[in-house]
Amino acid sequence: MSMMTLPKEKSADALQIALRAARENEARWMEMSPEVSADSDRLEQWASTAKLRRLEIERIETLLAEVENPSPGPTLR
């Protein structure tokens, strides 16, 4: 195993773990869906948090794809 592949593999493993945890967190959050009530602030806060959890998953998926399938040449970040 070369030194060049070790960090990539560890990074991919770490991202897989983070992705699994993020998906579990999202699933738990969705199970805690507030009952429909007159408390619109509570519903809005729950929906905002659900959206953030989804964005976290999408970002981790993007990072994982970049690690597993690096594009040739430099990238702008």
CB 67 within 8 A of CB 8: yes
Q: Which residue has the higher pLDDT, 19 or 32?
A: 19
- Does 70 score more than 90 pLDDT? no
Rounded mean pLDDT, 61-73 = 85
Quote the CA–CA distance of 11 and 5 in Å, as a whole number.
10
What confidence score (pLDDT) does residue 37 get?
62
Phi, psi of 36 (to 5 degrees): -60, 125
Who contacts 68 (Cβ-Cβ below 8 Å, separation ≥6)?
12
> What amino acid occupies position 67?
V
Q: pTM for this structure?
A: 0.72
- Does 29 score more than 50 pLDDT? yes
Rounded mean pLDDT, 5-18 = 82
What confidence score (pLDDT) does residue 76 get?
57
